Amino acid sequence: MTATAILVMTARQLSMFGDDGDTPRRGRSATRTVEPAACDGATRSLAARLPASIRLGTSSWSFPGWTGLVYAACDGRPESEQRLARLGLAAYAAHPLLRTVSLDRTFYTPLPAAEFAHYAAQVSDDFRFVVKAPAAFTDPVVRRPGSGLADHDNASFLDAMAARRLFVEPACAGLGGKAGPLVFQFPPLGRRLTADVRRTAGRIADFLAALPPAGGAGPTYAVEVRDPELACAEFAAAIHAAGGVPCLAVHARMPPVAEQASAWAAAQEGSGRPLVVRWNLHAGRRYEQARANYFPFDRLVEEDMPSRVALATLARRVAAAGGEVFVTINNKAEGSAPLSVLMLAREIAARGP
């Protein structure tokens, strides 16, 4: 069975929104609205000072540790993770600094257009979703459940027709004008593929070119990699030629922000395409280590000033040139994604009128 077939089977087995289900706590209504946290005037003023073309947000939104930052407490207690996953998006989108979010559950299984439309209905017309493509199209191997180790080659790797039918078309149909960049995140590809950067870049470019046309009324395709060998001008040029953009990945495996931006600058400059950034992981950390050290994600534990300053400078430069900017931040970047957004917003605001 191919990875695509497994994804389709999994999606059919899930009831609509059922994987986000929750047994409500005693005394709480299952349909009661999740309320946003109170927002002070300084935060609203900061949001108003940012260029409208710069959208900041987080990776997902279902974190009880964000109570007081994004969500109001209920009866003096945080909402559950399950309730936030089901009902928290509208409260998240009410925060003036949070104008985008990375929809990450699509990395594990495709969603039908109706589920994308359900998300879109909960946010304003100005909100945008950054959506991760299923790993079935970006991972060259099928991995063993639980271990993550390679089991066998993935027949769906770079299958553009399947990606179009199972991901791109449902996402665009369901989200409509609220669709932001569609991100194809490639895991470490291994020496077999990274040894020949031109050939690998060409294969990924051919994959993008076979999807529905990008740009204009079409989607933005962003390509995120985990191999530093691919953070080069040759790779960026191939992605741009196919209508996509490289996604700048702030990650322990990848070069620093300024180095990636420099490698891709020639292809990006003057293209009119957006800058897409995913601030994933603090330098020198593994996800498991960061999760353990940073939980419950209610404070900044390890601030990454070099990345913050570099991203602020880059975002301001792209916005000044008329380009759109999407930056989504993971809790594992500094400890608390909403606070990272706040601090990045302050850094951006300090660099312009």
Q: What is the mean pLDDT of residues 239-253?
A: 94
DSSP state, residue 164: I
> Looking at the DSSP assignment, which residues form a beta bridge with residue 74?
77
At 314, list the tokens: 């880059």
pLDDT level of residue 112 (50, 70, 90 thresholds)? very high
Q: What is the mean pLDDT of residues 131-150?
A: 83
Phi-psi region of 76 (alpha: psi -120 to 50; beta: other; left: phi over 0): left
Per residue in 245-254, is it b (16+ CB within 10 Å) or e — as a string? bbbbbbbbeb
Q: Which fold has domain 3-14+33-349?
A: TIM Barrel (3.20.20)
Contacts of 165 by beta carbon, 8 Å cutoff, 6+ apart: none
In which residue are the tokens 């990454």 written? 304
Rounded CA-CA distance 312/289 in Å is 27
Delimit the domains of the chain by residue range.
3-14+33-349
Among 89, 175, 163, 169, which residue's Cα sits nearest to residue 129? Answer: 175
> Looking at the DSSP assignment, which residues form a beta bridge with residue 58?
101, 329
Give yes or no for a contact between 279 and 321, defined as CB atoms under 8 angstroms apart. Answer: no
> What values do phi and psi take at 350, rounded to 5?
-70, -10
Give the pLDDT confidence score for residue 23 in this predicted structure: 36
- The pLDDT tens digits for 14-42 are 333 333 333 334 444 556 789 999 999 99
Give the pLDDT confidence score for residue 238 in this predicted structure: 95
Per 3-state DSSP, what percentage of the chain is helix, strand, and coil (rounded to 5)? 45, 15, 40
Give the pLDDT confidence score for residue 144 in this predicted structure: 75
Residue 202 above 70 pLDDT? yes
pTM, full prediction: 0.90
